[in-house]
Structures are given as structure tokens and as C-alpha cells.
Structure 1
């Protein structure tokens, strides 16, 4: 008994609830799935050979990689200059742009996919506009093709790329570029030699994260693409729904997971980016020598130009600023416009969705609140979301507190384990969770869905609460203990009030994550439970019910409410003066 009590007080003991849920619901089932793919206990690669022996499977696999690489490249090409311009903006403008990007990132991916179906469809905004202007006589095939899939994937992943880059760029010392400029370097040279190398960690982590998430895309390719645009996640989901052969499903899932794991190892290893062949090294050295010779010949001219411009009044062209402003405006327009269009169209008075609406009406909102299938699904999602928020926040806060007290090496390993469900393709998590809930007998039940959603939500809570704990002054806890406060009293009276904004933010984010979940829910809900996103997805596949526009508008408010809740808790908890230690003698 004393051993269990000591374990509960240790940092590792505080992580036991989180690891228990992850192990039972996801960890053990995914190991069983891997062993099944190897035909354990015989252990053979026959299932993997069968996968690669089928030309259609190989085509889908390479198509998945190609589409993921392309979407990641587009996100990087657009996201890097956007992040750079956001960081270079004034504090007020930078904050506003980051908030707008956060709102887009937190908005339901299903809602954003639906927005592009409405915009690109045969009766969509673009086709209707071009028909009204007389530019075309018949609607253009803008949807159900590869280009539509790329538009939807980039729209969903671009905010994540921008936020990843901004988080790194904000830590780069801006005086380095100013110093380079003072030494005669042109703006492009100063950026290339001073800023770009320091921002490469953000490029690597952002690209890696976007690529891995793109590998598991299921909803967007299925909604916007055609039969030739299927990705491996769609193939795995079809296997689960049709045959449920664990060996074949395991082989497909671990091939996808193997690609994500290999890229993760390469992306996290800085040496992997260095050229190893000697021939390439010789070429680079020769190019560098040639470059130095050219610089030596041009040095007198550059020195003369620098001396002439040294004492000139600042008359820099305003063209770069104008171009940068226009570029960021276009990116924000691309990110925010689909949601705005859906909100406006949800008030349409016509029989079909139209933009601009011919009249103002609340008929689609009335349809939502008067249809038991719609508001019943919303009520189920609310119940599950609240359950996920309570469970994830409690377990995740304990885990974050335990990780903050662990040694650095152990902390890194435990954090990596807890974040595994949100750093691998979601279809693999869905299959593993499905197997875990079958063993527990919770398929098609609300507690089962709560557990399934919590394995990802716990990771989000741990990240947010850990960030809050990193800013906590440990001397406050030490002072409380010096006043004979026990560990529990110190946590509840000192630590918890100080990290309350992070706890509340993690709880709301866990709720949003649960409320938006489709892939895992579609596998573990059975035919008995229909959440709101799942009903939206089913209606999108079979019919475009205008009621979805009203639902999408309501879901768009969730990230706004999350940011408001986070701001209010931060504003109320900010110190207005010297913070005194709470009275522990009460």
C-alpha cells in the first residue's frame, strides 16, 4: 500500500491514468494489429507482399504520397512568406493575423470541406458567377477532381504551416538582418544569409507535420475528389467496412505508418539533410570557390555603392511593403472567405443555396432546430464533447504536472508517447481504437466514443497545460511547502489557480476536437449513435441538404468561443500588482 501511495506522488505516477487509457484503448490493440499483419505466431510478410503485389494498391500508395508531397509543398511555398510578413508586421497587426489564422485552423475541417463543395460545385459560387457574366454556357467541372482536392487540403493545412513557422520566426533575433544591412548586404542577401538558416527548424517541423497529417486525409479527398483521387486512408476505411480482415488492414495501416515514421526520423535528424556523397561535396566546394572569385571581382563596385548609400536619407521603395500587404491579404482572403460564404448562404431564402442570397431567411436554422435527427445528433455531440473535456482535462493536467517534474530525458520520451495519437495518420488511430473498444465491448456506446476521442484530446491538453506550467515560478510552490502546505494543498491553492487559463483552454480545445471528430467516430459508433459531424458527413455523401449550411455556420462559432474563453481566463488571471502568496492557513 505504501508503495502505491509513493508511486502516486511521483511524477511517473501522475502519468499513469493517461498511459492507462492510451495503453488499453490504443497501445495494446495497435500491437495486436501489427502482429496480425505479420501472421503471428508464424511471422511472415505474406500480407505485405500481397499488398505490393496488387498494382491498384501500389498506385493508391504512390498517389497518396504524391498528393501529400504536393499539398505540403504548396503550403510551404505560400506559408513561408506569409509567416515572414506576419512576424515583420507591427505588434497589433501581427496579433490580429495570428488570431485569424488560429480561427481558421480551429474551424472544423468538415465545415471547410463542405464550404469548398458549395463554392466549386456545378451550382456553386464560381460557376454561378461566370454563368451570370456570360463567360461560360455550361458549368465547369471544378469539383470531383485532383485540383479540388489540392484546394481543400491546402486550405485545411495552410494555417498549421503558418503557425508552425511563426512560432520559430518569432524567436529569431530581428537585429541580425539589420546588422547584415548595415554591412552593405541587400535585403534579399540579408534574408538569405541571416534569417533563412535560423528559420529552417520551423520549415522542417511544419513540413513534416503537414505531410504526416496529409497522409491520413480521408474526408477531403472523398468529398472533393473523384474515383481516381482516392488515398490510402480511404482504402483502409473501405477494408474495415467491407471485409474487416485484420491481417490485410494491419498491413495497409502499417505501410502508411511506416512512411510517416520514416519521414519523422529523417525530419528530426539534422544530419539527414547534409549531402553525403563525395562528388556532391566536391561540386559544392567548386561552386563556392567560383562564387568567392566573383565576389572578389565585384568587391570594389559593391564597396563604392555602399559608401555612396551609407549617408543617404532612407528612401527605400514602398513597393515591397505594398506587395507584401497584398500577398497577406490574399492569403487571409483565401483562408476566411469559404467560411464567410457559407455563413451568408445559410441565411438564404431560396430553395437552394445561393450567393448572394436573393432574400434573408432563417428557414435552414429552423429546419435544424425542428428536425429531431439534427438537434438529436447535436445533443449527442454535446454530451460526448463534455465527457471528453472532463476526462481529458483531468488526466491531461495530471500528466502535464507529472511531466514538468520529471527529468528532461524521461520527460521527452513520455511526452512523445502521449502525443503519438495526434502525430500519426488518423486512420491508423481509428483502426487501433476500434480494435481496443471491441475488446472492451464498448463499440456503439457513448463511453466508448468518449474514450476514443480522449486518446487524442489528452495530447492537446498536455501540450497547452505544459506550456502554462513552463511559465510558472517554482519559488511559489517552494514557499507554500515551506509554510507546511502538503503537496495536494500546494497544487490546489497555488499551482492550479496560476495555470487555470491553460487548463480551461485545454478543456475547450478538447471539446472542439471531440465535436469535430469524424474518422474515429465513423468506425467506433456502430449504427446506434450519430454525432453531428457524422450526420453532416453522411448527408454530404448522399445529398447536399441546405441545412448543413446552418450547421456549418454554428460550428464556425466554436473556435471563436474558444479564443474568447481563453482570453477571458487569461485577462482575469493576469497579475494587477505584486502577487501575494495565497493564505494557506485557512
Structure 2
């Protein structure tokens, strides 16, 4: 039996976990929202009839849209400048962009509480300079929410944009310039249309994730800045009536589903660019305006032709100020992404009983407080154990699923991929409630096993994405050659395929570990107050105690991404020169 014939069977373990922990509870949650078996929309009507609910709903959409627009307005030019930079500069800037992405979101949110608080960095600086007499209200308002959300979401916007932009052939821009197009015209008419798949994917990802934001609005916003996810979480903790909670959750999910159905989430830039001319998408609506623009351009054709002839043999003397402005802009973006983390790291060495910047001295007092407090160390050890278990389970199951999906029919492949990515494309609070119900049915609430399963549904999705990307560049003829020499499917996979996709598997394991180690929302629902992970301990500390020990904890979490990147680089570096020898050694 060939690999292609039983490839679909490899997805069974992943979908078994997905269905038991998330899929079936999600269906049950939907039926509950419809008051099954009566099947009515009474709970949806009750939600809409409450003006406060509708206000929170529209406020959630407004905050998500504005945060997405800010991320796009900052992320697009930054990604463009990074993609067009020299190779060494581009690699360095991408690494600086990835570091915040891999850093704990809770730690980054805490960093902004330190900077924007009444006794934070900005207010202390203004008071010391005599600019103000009392602290400015920089926190617990809408602006603080936007700052925190954009800081967390900006790398997620930039990475899809970079992925698409770096795949655009630079010779197309050069060809446009050689035919007389100015820099902006060449960009607008050649580069920008080709980058739209990245704009679409990044904007959708950011918008959907913003819909489910819970920690950042609650930590940085005021009572008037509550989002629907906060409202749903409050219902879960205060009410045993599941039907209204389910209705609220599916209203939030419906918004995300509408956006995904209209614009479509395509994680592969190449396919989306290839499919762009064929399908009737939202870009066709822009074509009406484009026709008018082309008609107006025809009126200036004669003038532009004369200008091109005049300037054809003129020496190019382009101003350097665009490059200087671009360099300053990228530097400011990198400072915005990295400065909060650096502030917390520096402040964690404060010797006093309160955090201060800059510190008046150097002390490891708060690091000693962390390692000397059993409540902190036990929470950290619990998180490490759970994260390793999640990484092991999701890497094995996710790798099998990715391999099986890559060997199925194209139409089935698309359906399976979207199904397995549901836990990371749905609003997080909705996923958390469905997962909570699934763990309840298994009788694992308040257990580490329940938390491992709950974390695994999202971790498996990350593994599938990363391993699938590695398999997309894998030459299947190597497997065919091995099987033509009487190697079985298992032997072919272990001795040919596995060594070549090992970097992707390790990358998936790292992301699975990070996903579990940083999880707060699902953990808070599933832990049952009996299992305390490090993020839960940090979240409790941020809300209640404001213990400076958390600065040391956040600093340690901010240094972890550097270790992950080093591990990934070493893995890639070792695998690159050894790929061909490994293939020769494992030839059957």
C-alpha cells in the first residue's frame, strides 16, 4: 500500500483530540444557545434587547477595527522597508520582530502597566522634570488599550506581510522604473497589488484575535473599555446558566465567521496570488474605481510619454531623504516593540521596595524573591511540565496530521486544514468556553491532564502550519525513489522524510511549548482553582498584589525567545549542510 492511500488515516489522532475536546462541545454549545430541543432564538433576542450588551458588542467591533487599522498603517510600511532592505539588515530586523511575537503576551501587557501607570516610567519622568504637578491618566482608558493591543498584534500583522513581500520579484519594480514610472507609481501599480494577500491575511488574523482579547483590555482599560470577551468571562465565573453565555459567545464567533467568509483567510501567499485573477473577491469592487482612474490616466498619456523621453537619458539623482525617513520609521517601530521589554528587564534589578527607572543601584533582590518563593517556583515548574507534555503530544500528533494532509486530495486538504486551524482562528474566549465544556465531559477539570488536552488543540494547529510549510518544499520524488527500491511506507518516512523535515518539526515543537507556557484564558477556565500555572500566578499578581517580583518573572520570560531563536537557528544550521549527506546515508 502506498503512502498516498493511507495518508488520511494519519490525521485521525489529531482530529480525535480536536473533536472530543473542542468540536463536539462546540456543537453542544451552539445547540444550547438555540435552547435545544425547543430550538428558538430567545437567548439571542435577550442579548440584543439589553442596550448594555449591544453597546459592548459594538464597542468590541470598534476597538478591534481601530486596532487592526493602526497595526496595518504601521505594519505595512515597516514590512515594506524591511523586505526591501539588504539581506543582513533584513534578517536582523525580522529577528527583532519575531522576538516580541515569541514573548509572553501577559509579560508585555505588564510592561505597559509599568510604563503607563500613575507611578510608571512616563509619569515619573514628567514629574521629575516639573512638566506636570500630578500623574497624567495614561492607564485605564481606551488609549492604553490600543497601545497594548497594537504592541501585541503588530508582529502578527507584519509577519504575513513580510512573507508575501519577500516573495515578490524585485525585477517587476525595476521594469516599471525603467519604463518611466516614478517610485510611488511603480509601488502603487505593481508592488501594492501583489502584496494584497498579505494585507488580507494579516488584517483578518489581527481582527479576529482582537475580537477575543481578554487580558489586555482588562489590565489596561477602564470600566468603559470592556470588550465582549470580558463580559463573557464574567458570566462564566458568576453564572451557572450556560445558554446566555453560549449565545454571547456565538454572536462573537459570528462576527469572526462573517469576516472570514467575506474576505477568506489564506495562509499561503503563493496560492492566493495565483487564485486572485480567477475568483470574484472584494478586489473586484475596487475595480470600478480603478476603471475611472484608468480613464483619467489616458488623458495624461501624451504628457507622460513626453516626460519619459526627456528623462530617459538623464542621470538618476534621487534624493536620499526617503531612505533616511524610512530608516527612522523602522527604528521607531523596533523601539516600540522592544523598549517596553527592555524597561522591565532593567527595572527588575532595582534594589528598592518599589520598581524604578533607571534603578538607583543593582540588585538581584527580586530574582531571589522569585526563586525563594515556593508559590512562584511551583507555578513555574507546573507550567514547564505542562508545556513539555503539550509539546510532545502536539508535535507527534500534529506532524502525523500535517504529513497526512499533504498526501490527501487537494479539496479534502483544504477542508481538513481549515478544520484543524479552527482553534487558532476562532476568538479565544469562545475556544476557551468550548474547551471547558469538553474537559468537563471528560471529568478532567482541575487536572494537569485536562490542561494538557485543552492546550493541545491550539498547539496542534501551530505544529500543522509549520510542518506543512516544510513539507511544501519537500520533493516527493525522494519518497518514490525509496519505495521503488522496496522500502516500506514506515521505513521511507523514518529514513528519508523525517530527517529532511526535522527542522520544521523542531520549530513546531518550540511554538507548541510557547503556546502552552503563555496560555492564560483557557487555563483559567480549565484549572478549576486547583492547578496554578505561572501565567495564572502572574495574572493574579498583576490584578491584586503588584509585587515587584513579577518584574523578575517577566524579565525571565522575555529572555526565553532569544533562547528559542538560538535553538531554531542551530537546528536549521546543522540540518542545512547535512541534508545531502543524510540523504545519501539513508538511501535504501
Aligned to 1:315: 317
Pairing 1:460–2:465 present: no
- 2:214 is the alignment partner of 1:218: yes
Residue of structure 2 equivalent to 1:95: 91
1:410-489 maps to which residues of 2 (within 5 A)? 410-489=412-491
The C-alpha deviation readout for 1:240-279, integer Å capped at 9, x for no partner, is 00003111011000000000000001112963525669xx
- Measure how far apart 1:36 and its partner are: 0.4
Q: Is the 8 A contact 1:374 1:532 kept in 2?
A: yes
What residue in structure 2 maps to residue 378 of structure 1? 380
Consecutive aligned runs of 4 or more in structure 1 exceeding 2 Å deviation: 5-9, 269-272, 274-277, 283-293, 302-314, 575-586
- Judged with a 3 Å threshold, the aligned counterparts in structure 2 of structure 1 residues 498 and 350 are, in CA distance, closer, same or farther, namely same
Alignment length (residue pairs): 575
Deviations 1:43-82 (A, max 9, x none): 0000000000000000000000000000000000001100
Shift of 1:570: 1.0
Seen in structure 2, the aligned counterparts of structure 1 residues 481 and 290 have a Cα distance that, compared at 3 Å, is closer
580 and 205 in structure 1: CA distance in 2 versus 1, 3 angstrom threshold: closer
Equivalent in 166, 169, 185 of residue 173 of structure 1: 169
Residues 215, 256 of structure 1: 8 Å contact kept: yes
| Higher mean C-alpha displacement, 347-356 vs 472-481 | 472-481
Paired with 1:186 and 1:446, the residues of 2 have a C-alpha distance of 60
Deviates more, 1:336-345 or 1:9-18: 9-18
Q: What is the aligned partner in structure 2 of residue 271 from structure 1?
A: 280
Gap change, CA 1:576 and 1:371, over 3 Å in 2: closer
Match for 2:368 among 366, 369, 389?
A: 366
The alignment status of 1:396 with 2:398, answered yes or no, reads yes
1:545 corresponds in structure 2 to: 547
Deviations 1:364-416 (A, max 9, x none): 00000000100010000011001101100010011011111111111111011
Q: 1:144 corresponds to which residue?
A: 140
Instruction: Report the equivalent of 1:336.
Output: 338
Q: Which runs of 5+ in 2 are unaligned?
A: 266-278
Q: Distance in 2 between matches of 1:151 and 1:139?
A: 18
**Counterpart of 2:78?**
82
For residue 164 of structure 1, the aligned residue among 160, 163, 168 is 160
**1:289 and 2:295 aligned:** yes
Give the corresponding residue for 1:558: 560
Match of 1:128 among 105, 124, 130: 124
Using the alignment, how far apart are the partners of 2:281 and 2:511 within structure 1? 35
The answer for unaligned runs of 5 or more in structure 1 is none
Distance in 1 (CA, whole Å) between partners of 2:582 and 2:424 is 39
Deviations 1:513-562 (A, max 9, x none): 10000000000001101100000001101121111110001111222122
Residue deviations 1:76-101, cap 9 Å, x none? 00011001101110011111111111
1:260 to 2:256 alignment: yes
**How high is the TM-score relative to the length of structure 1?**
0.95
1:491 corresponding residue in structure 2: 493
- Residue deviations 1:102-138, cap 9 Å, x none? 1111111101100000000011110111111111111
Q: Does 1:193 align with 2:189?
A: yes
